Amino acid sequence: MTNFHLSNPESRTAAALEATRSVYLQIEGASPEETSRGLAAAQAVFEKAGVTAGKAYWAICELESADDLGWVDKVPSEAIEHMHVWEEAERAAIEACCAGWQSNRPERYVLHLFPKAEAAVS
């Protein structure tokens, strides 16, 4: 039987992810100011939860892998909590970015971690 072990969020892999990536928000039709407002709201969620964006994103990736392999029942509860932080940050980013829009939920959006140079160019 294979055991699924979530990588420790303090591991070199998660640390490398955190050091080389930036949170990126793209919402169709949003201005740069609205996007900045959304990113600030997402960051506030991460800070309030005491979870870095890298740890939360890492948990999403690990849970998706576990789901693909059928090992979701072996995922530590901390990873699930971190995944929920990412989801909450995403909702906060969309709400803050789209405040005042007729529809608060755009059809196309992405909150993601991208390599720092790539995020700066996009």
Domain that holds residue 26: 12-117
Tally of structural domains, the chain: 1
Q: Taking residues 39-46, what's their average pLDDT? A: 95
User: Is 103 domain-assigned?
Assistant: yes
Q: pLDDT tens digit string along 60-113?
A: 888 877 666 666 676 777 888 988 999 999 999 999 999 988 865 677 788 877
Domain-embedded: residue 2: no
Residue 1 lies in a domain: no
Question: Does 57 fall in a domain?
Answer: yes
Q: Is the dihedral of CA 58, 59, 60, 64 positive or negative?
A: positive
DSSP per-residue codes, 1-14: -PPP-PPPTTSHHH
**5 located within any domain:** no
Query: For position 116, what pLDDT does the model report?
Result: 66
Determine, yes or no, domain membership for 102: yes
Residue 68 belongs to a domain: yes
Residue 53 forms part of a structural domain: yes
